[in-house]
Structure 1
Amino acid sequence: MAQTEQKKIRVVVAGVSGWVGRELVQAIAASDDLVLTGAVARGVAGQDAGTLAGLPTPLGVPVHISAQEALAAGADVLVDYTKPQAVRAHVAAALEVGVAVVIGTSGLTAEDYFEIDSMARGRSLGVAAAGNFSVTAMLLKRFSLMAAQYVGDIEIIDYAGPQKPDVPSGTARELAEALENAREHPPTAKPVADILGPKEARGAQIGTVPVHSVRLPSYVLACETHFGLPGERLTIRHDAGTSAAPYVAGTLLAVRKVRKFIGLRRGLDGILDA
């Protein structure tokens, strides 16, 4: 027997008009344990979230300009797929009214996450964040962390289309920060301060892991971790498809888990352990 509306997890989606946001609305509408109670997207405010997502019938959930308006209808979890400059305000608005948060937006820094963790702990609520909510992207991270125990020379290449505004991608940034902490041997590459020529040619340094962002037409999203030892190399790569379905599945797993812990958890692997 399906759960009643009162027992379902009430979800607000910020960024409802986006690539992932539209498919999230469809998946929530089709689920037995979730219900969409609010939606946020400035450019399409006033439209019905179901109609916007391509559902055959409206959901009766209007799209609002602000998170505060969308949360007023009642919510248990806010999901954010917007822009990095909007995330902090959305998190603060949700935590202020006792709502947990799932962040799929990329482009946030370690300092951003530190502030979000502090806000969540101050309210005794959970925040789940991942640079990439796909299961295979989680495996890229897990296998790369295993390799980092044995190889100290590591570089990351992150690929996306030309209009992606944030560099590096959330996947690459999260991966680099994790590898910096997991690496057990120092790199042998010449320090950036000692190289000749433009230092930017060595990529951005996330900790001490070089990250190179390629932005060209025909790419969706991809991320490679490169490991080097004398006489041998290892490359671990993740490629995203053209559908948002992998991100939707991981995001909904996080929605179902985020109220079980306090503070910030990053990465799908850490969230699944809740």
Structure 2
Amino acid sequence: MSIRITLAGSTGWVGKALVAAIAAADDLVLVGAVSRSAAGQDAGEAAGLPRQGVTVSATLEEALAVPSDVVIDYTKPGAVKAHALTALTQGRHVVIGTSGLSGGDYADLDRYALAAERGVLAAGNFSITATLLRRFALEAARYVPDVEVIDYASAKKPDTPSGTARELAELLSEVRLPATSKAVDELAGVKETRGGALGTREPVQVHSLRMPSFVLSCEAVFGADNERLVIRHDAGASAAPYVAGTLLAARRVSSFIGLKRGLDAVMD
């Protein structure tokens, strides 16, 4: 039986690629699409593809009038949490590819998912190579305590840091040892130049650059006595790297209850 997908953000950069990929998959079927700018159009035509026989809705609530199994969200930071809660209350599993959620937001989603007995899989980046960046960085942090994250994106990216950088920093903070660098509150000068601290146990400094020529890049910089390690992921101009991971998430999200973060949570 095919997995029925409702796609929020169907005319976005990743959304258009997902419409095509879902149409080509034997085990997935698009039954709902959400895009305010394309409401009333056919989901395929709105994405520059052949007709799919699915009318784009202006809101997720409208799209959920059609039965589905999984909601995939690639919308905007200000909308994604409300979308996820709406989907959970209506009995859907949720895959979140939109960035901008905080640790508190994820805690709320976990509670709602557990109460609804549904799964939520959220990732700052669904590409396989970005997932490997996270895995390798977490391994390095067990041996090198000093680490900071640098996040690069285009001048028009609306949230900071990126979901990739936020997720990486929060996870690094759970496994790293205390840093040897001087604490920010002990510094003189412009303290904001040290970036923002993310995480709970041992917070990690994150620095975000927003300027033309970047798509998305993220690097973890480790420093030890007389040596340095940089682990970096660079994304190209195509949304293709995110599609396979998102569809894998859609196939696996019904296998658990509650929130899982990161594609590697369902890869092994």
TM-score range, shorter chain: over 0.9
After TM superposition, give the deviation of residue 108 of structure 1 in Å. 0.6
Any conservation in 2 of the 1:84–1:106 contact (CA below 8 Å)?
A: yes
Q: Deviations 1:86-118 (Å, cap 9, x if unpaired)?
A: 112211221122110000000110011000111
User: 2: CA distance between counterparts of 1:271 and 1:265?
Assistant: 9
Task: Tell me the residue number matched to 2:195.
Answer: 203
Question: Where does 1:109-128 land on structure 2 (aligned, <5 Å)?
Answer: 109-128=102-121
Picking from 181, 184, 208, the partner of 1:192 is: 184
* Amino acid paired to 1:41: S
Contact 1:20/1:244, CA 8 A, preserved across alignment: yes
Shift of 1:54: 1.6
CA distance in 2, matches of 1:216, 1:120: 37
d(CA) in 2 for partners of 1:237, 1:92:
33
Aligned to 2:260: 265
**How is 1:1-40 mapped onto 2 (pairs within 5 angstroms)?**
7-40=1-34
CA distance in 1 between partners of 2:36 and 2:185 (Å):
44
- Alpha-carbon contact 1:42-1:66 (below 8 Å) kept: yes
Alignment correspondent of 1:242: 237
In the alignment, which of 36, 46, 54 is matched to residue 61 of structure 1?
54
SS in 1 for 2:266: helix
The alignment status of 1:155 with 2:148, answered yes or no, reads yes
2:81/2:101 contact within 8 Å kept: no
Q: Distance in 2 between matches of 1:32 and 1:161?
A: 35
Post-superposition Cα deviations, 1:166-202, rounded to whole Å, max 9, x if no partner, equal 000000000001100011x210100000001111100
Structure 2 segments unaligned to the other structure (5+ residues): none
Q: Partner of 1:212 in structure 2?
A: 207
Indicate the residue corresponding to 2:90 in structure 1.
Answer: 97
Deviation at 1:27, TM superposition (A): 0.2
Contact 1:153–1:228 (8 Å) recurs in 2 = yes
**Structure 1 gaps, min length 5:** 1-6
The TM-score with structure 1 as length reference comes to: 0.95
TM-superposed deviation, 1:271 = 2.5
User: Residues of 2 paired with 1:249 and 1:167: CA distance?
Assistant: 25
Please state whether the residue corresponding to 2:167 is helix, strand or coil.
helix
Aligned equivalent of 2:227: 232
Contact 1:156–1:212 (Cα < 8 Å) also in 2 = yes
Equivalent-residue separation in structure 1 for 2:180 and 2:234 (angstroms): 28
- Count the aligned residue pairs: 265
Give the superposition deviation at 1:272: 2.2
Give the root-mean-square deviation of aligned CA atoms: 0.8
Question: 1:182 and 2:175 equivalent?
Answer: yes
Provide the C-alpha distance between the structure 2 equivalents of 1:101 and 1:271, rounded to a whole number of angstroms: 14
| Aligned 1:37-56 pairs, distance under 5 A | 37-55=31-49
Q: Quote the Cα distance in structure 1 between the aligned partners of 2:82 and 2:163.
A: 19
- Kindly provide the amino acid, as one letter, of the partner of residue 100 in structure 2: G
CA-CA distance at 1:36 after TM superposition: 0.3
Aligned to 1:3: none
Mapping for residues 137-148 of structure 1, pairs under 5 Å? 137-148=130-141
**C-alpha deviation, 1:53, in angstroms:** 1.5
Q: CA–CA distance in 1 between the matches of 2:229 and 2:40?
A: 51
CA distance in 2, matches of 1:50, 1:69: 18
Deviations 1:29-82 (A, max 9, x none): 011000000000112111110001221x21111111111111111100000001
**Could you list the runs of 4 or more consecutive aligned residues of structure 1 that deviate by over 6 angstroms after TM superposition?**
none
Other-structure match for 1:4: none
Identity %, equivalent residues? 60
